[in-house]
């Protein structure tokens, strides 16, 4: 059975795999050098007798076993380039840095297991470790299982798994335990006396005592750490667990920094564009999470303020998401009620670590799925996220004036960023944004700013259309959004659940809970001949249900899980759906679901929209 993947986070691929006759292995997994009596179901790692200069190992589970046999070479110790060595049935020992050409050749031989022979030396070097993992994966793809021998300690397991290491062994921890170390999955090394005095652990080793108590405890600590890591991966919270472990050992923070810096695009590509639950962003490291980096980057690369917006209103974010539903934001809205030309007002929230969030993007993940500790102190990177976005909005928008409904002390760092040529009004004297005086000042300032502009020619709905086009630009890129929004175009629906139609047929829907458009066949047809997020399907396979990996001929590398993708067959539109895997994994893996197909194209007629009802109501043309 080839590898199947049902959970992706960071470079981690959770699912099942096979090593020879060892089938149905749940990965990531622990290889136990010395499983104790309660190690039922564990994978054992054994050293077998071998001639001088050769190492023989066996990974066994139940009655089945998978053997490795390879020459022991100096690079295992020195970390120098050692290349690739066959180690038995579909297994290879790799020493980084390796010859990329040779590694690509190895890819065709479909290895099941790669052991990074000098993983320990690379780890000691720091940045070399994530770099080696990246080169390995880029040359050999995601299908082979990756084992990094003698690197894992219980508290390191979350980070190793986040980096895409599938197999970790207990060797290093058992050696340390033999030297008297008490390994704690949360704190790293801990004084054995303190742990004993408090009866910290109730594993068999700790409660039974004996000469090998610390080693038995180490085995239990590894198992606990692996269970915790798998649980976090299953819950989509592996990154949080990685961050939670950083204080156990400084090298983890270093390694995450190198990973975010050097593997950032790879991590971002693996991160879904959709979100289902609120996540906490507590540490400085949280600010570098891929979904936050992506939101900030797409705002600058893809987004422009709707052209009819002539007054920029900056407000503080709210703890409640989306912001517009919060008490403070509802009070701002009430204070402005009835003002003429309000559709020209562009409400933009200032927040950390996301930067700036224009009102029409409040549902785009992760804008409605983050929670932060509020301190009123802005670190330099937090300020940079805001000022970078503000510079972009000011340079690409058509604002004539700015109203800053912000605490003038806390947000003093924005003063210099507002150009002298724009009329800028600060409406607050302190941090009370919803006092009667504050709301009156807000109304007066906005009214004064809106006065010279006059109404938008197409009315408020024309502005809604502009706003929706910006959501599409952030999602699909600007050229595709422009094609989707070519007239004729009608809006049907209500605020925060919009349907785009061409007057007869639905083109796309936007629900606030998802924050991104779903395309229909007619909508995707507007994106031809060169649609974004396209997948070429095998023309010999009938597209009757969902699309599985073997049916994917090629997939755009820009596809992220959750993306609305366009299925093509020989260049013709075949269907639309939602990506389950990132584009590159659709061709790197050989097994598993690739796309949940929502609509299939038929020769003459398109399938009806199955979600949100049919579009019998004809919305206004805008």
Where do contacts with Zn ion occur on this chain (CB under 5 A)?
Answer: 201, 203, 206, 217
- Residue whose CB is less far from Zn ion, 5 or 206: 206
Find the shortest distance in angstroms from Cβ 171 to Zn ion: 18
- Residue whose CB is less far from Zn ion, 177 or 622: 177
- Residue whose CB is less far from Zn ion, 190 or 251: 190
d(CA 333, CA 359): 12
Find the shortest distance in angstroms from Cβ 599 to Zn ion: 55
d(CA 236, CA 136): 25
Find the shortest distance in angstroms from Cβ 26 to Zn ion: 24
From the list 620, 395, 365, the residue with the least C-alpha distance to 489 is 620
CA angle 528, 532, 535 (to 5 degrees): 90
Find the shortest distance in angstroms from Cβ 280 to Zn ion: 29
d(CA 522, CA 502): 9
Find the shortest distance in angstroms from Cβ 199 to Zn ion: 10
DSSP string, 145-197: EEE-TT---GGGHHHHHHTT--EEESHHHHHHHHTTPEEETTTEEE-HHHHHH
Find the shortest distance in angstroms from Cβ 180 to Zn ion: 14
Cβ-proximal residue to Zn ion, closest one: 201
- Residue whose CB is less far from Zn ion, 94 or 177: 177
d(CA 117, CA 302): 43
Across the strands, what pairs with 423? 401
- Residue whose CB is less far from Zn ion, 221 or 238: 221
C-beta atoms surrounding 209 within 10 Å: 11
- Residue whose CB is less far from Zn ion, 203 or 233: 203
Helix (H) or strand (E) holding 32: strand 29-32
Question: 222 is written with which tokens?
Answer: 């590894």
Q: Which residues contact 335 (CB under 8 A, 6 or more apart)?
A: 439, 440, 442, 443
8 Å CB contact between 168 and 31: yes
- Residue whose CB is less far from Zn ion, 193 or 416: 193
Please list, residue by residue across 307-317, b when 16 or more beta carbons sit within 10 angstroms of its beta carbon and e when fewer do: ebbbbbbbbbb
- Residue whose CB is less far from Zn ion, 114 or 226: 226
Find the shortest distance in angstroms from Cβ 197 to Zn ion: 14
Does residue 145 have a cis bond before it (omega within 30 degrees)? no
- Residue whose CB is less far from Zn ion, 212 or 558: 212
Find the shortest distance in angstroms from Cβ 245 to Zn ion: 18
- Residue whose CB is less far from Zn ion, 177 or 424: 177
CA angle 68, 71, 72 (to 5 degrees): 105
Find the shortest distance in angstroms from Cβ 160 to Zn ion: 21
Helix (H) or strand (E) holding 130: helix 128-140
Locus of tokens 């517009």: 324
The β-bridge relationship of strands 564-569 and 534-537 is parallel
Tell how far CA 236 is from the center of its chain. Answer: 9
Find the shortest distance in angstroms from Cβ 217 to Zn ion: 3
Q: How far apart are the first and last CA of the chain?
A: 54
- Residue whose CB is less far from Zn ion, 192 or 305: 192
Find the shortest distance in angstroms from Cβ 248 to Zn ion: 17
Tell how far CA 178 is from the center of its chain. Answer: 39
Find the shortest distance in angstroms from Cβ 273 to Zn ion: 42
Find the shortest distance in angstroms from Cβ 201 to Zn ion: 3
- Residue whose CB is less far from Zn ion, 33 or 425: 33
Find the shortest distance in angstroms from Cβ 151 to Zn ion: 22
Find the shortest distance in angstroms from Cβ 182 to Zn ion: 8
8 Å CB contact between 387 and 413: yes
Find the shortest distance in angstroms from Cβ 213 to Zn ion: 8
- Residue whose CB is less far from Zn ion, 42 or 103: 42
**In degrees rounded to 5, what are phi and psi of residue 231?**
-65, -45
Instruction: Assign residue 11 a region (left: φ > 0; alpha: ψ between -120 and 50; beta: otherwise).
Output: alpha
Please list, residue by residue across 149-184, b when 16 or more beta carbons sit within 10 angstroms of its beta carbon and e when fewer do: bbbbbbbbbbbbbbbbbbbbbbbbbbebbeeebbbb
- Residue whose CB is less far from Zn ion, 220 or 609: 220
d(CA 192, CA 181): 7
Do you know the residue count of the chain? 622
- Residue whose CB is less far from Zn ion, 15 or 205: 205
d(CA 8, CA 26): 14
8 Å CB contact between 587 and 547: no
- Residue whose CB is less far from Zn ion, 87 or 218: 218
């Amino acid at each position: 059975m080839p590898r199947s993947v049902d959970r992706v986070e960071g470079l981690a691929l959770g699912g099942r795999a096979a090593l020879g006759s060892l089938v149905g292995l749940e990965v990531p997994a622990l290889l136990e050098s010395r499983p104790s009596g309660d190690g039922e179901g564990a994978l054992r790692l054994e050293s077998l007798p071998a001639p001088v200069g050769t190492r023989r190992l066996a990974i066994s589970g139940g009655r089945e076993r998978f053997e490795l046999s390879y020459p022991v070479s100096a690079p295992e110790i020195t970390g120098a380039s050692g290349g690739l060595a066959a180690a038995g049935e579909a297994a290879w020992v790799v020493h980084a840095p390796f010859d990329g050409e040779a590694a690509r050749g190895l890819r065709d031989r479909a290895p099941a297991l790669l052991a990074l022979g000098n993983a320990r030396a690379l780890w000691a070097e720091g940045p070399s470790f994530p770099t080696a993992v990246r080169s390995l994966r880029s040359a050999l793809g995601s299908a082979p299982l990756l084992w990094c021998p003698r690197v894992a300690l219980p508290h390191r397991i979350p980070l190793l798994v986040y980096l895409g290491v599938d197999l970790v062994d207990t060797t290093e921890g058992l050696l340390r335990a033999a030297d008297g170390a008490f390994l704690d999955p949360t704190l790293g090394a801990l004084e054995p006396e303190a742990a004993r005095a408090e009866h910290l652990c109730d594993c068999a080793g700790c409660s039974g005592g004996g000469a090998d108590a610390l080693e038995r405890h180490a085995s239990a600590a590894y198992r606990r750490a692996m269970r915790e890591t798998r649980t976090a991966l299953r819950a989509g919270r592996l990154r949080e667990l990685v961050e939670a472990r950083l204080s156990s050992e400084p090298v983890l923070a270093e390694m995450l920094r190198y990973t975010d810096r050097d593997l950032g695009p790879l991590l971002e590509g693996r991160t879904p564009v959709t979100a289902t639950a609120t996540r906490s962003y507590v540490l400085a490291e949280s600010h570098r999470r891929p979904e936050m980096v992506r939101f900030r980057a797409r705002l600058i690369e893809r987004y422009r303020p709707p052209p009819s917006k002539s007054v920029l209103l900056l407000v503080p974010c709210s703890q409640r998401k989306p912001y517009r539903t919060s008490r403070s934001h509802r009070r701002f809205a009430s204070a402005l009620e009835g003002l003429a030309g309000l559709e020209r007002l562009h409400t933009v929230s200032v927040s950390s670590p996301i930067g700036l969030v224009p009102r029409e993007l409040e549902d785009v993940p992760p804008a409605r799925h983050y929670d932060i500790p509020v301190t009123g102190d802005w670190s330099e990177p937090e300020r940079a996220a805001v000022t970078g976005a503000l510079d972009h909005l000011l340079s690409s928008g058509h604002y004539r004036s700015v109203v800053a409904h912000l605490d003038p002390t806390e947000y003093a760092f924005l003063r210099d960023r507002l150009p002298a040529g724009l009329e800028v009004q600060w409406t607050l004297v302190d941090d009370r944004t919803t006092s009667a005086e504050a709301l009156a000042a807000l109304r007066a300032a906005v009214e004064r700013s809106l006065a010279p502009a006059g109404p938008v020619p197409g009315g408020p709905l024309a502005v809604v259309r502009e706003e929706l086009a910006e959501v599409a630009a952030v999602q699909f890129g600007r050229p595709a959004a422009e094609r989707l929004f070519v007239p004729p175009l009608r809006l049907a629906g209500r605020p925060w659940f919009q349907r785009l139609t061409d007057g007869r047929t639905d083109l796309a829907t936007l629900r606030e809970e998802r924050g991104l458009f779903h395309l229909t066949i007619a909508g995707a047809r507007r994106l031809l001949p060169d649609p974004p997020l396209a997948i070429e399907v095998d023309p010999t396979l009938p597209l009757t249900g969902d699309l599985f990996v073997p049916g994917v001929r090629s997939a755009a590398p820009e596809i992220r899980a959750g993306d609305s993708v366009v299925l093509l067959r020989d260049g013709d539109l075949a269907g639309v759906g939602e990506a389950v895997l990132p584009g590159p994994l659709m061709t790197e893996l050989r097994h598993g679901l690739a796309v949940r197909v929502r609509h299939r194209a038929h020769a003459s007629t398109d399938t009806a929209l199955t979600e949100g009802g049919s579009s019998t109501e004809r919305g206004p043309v805008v």
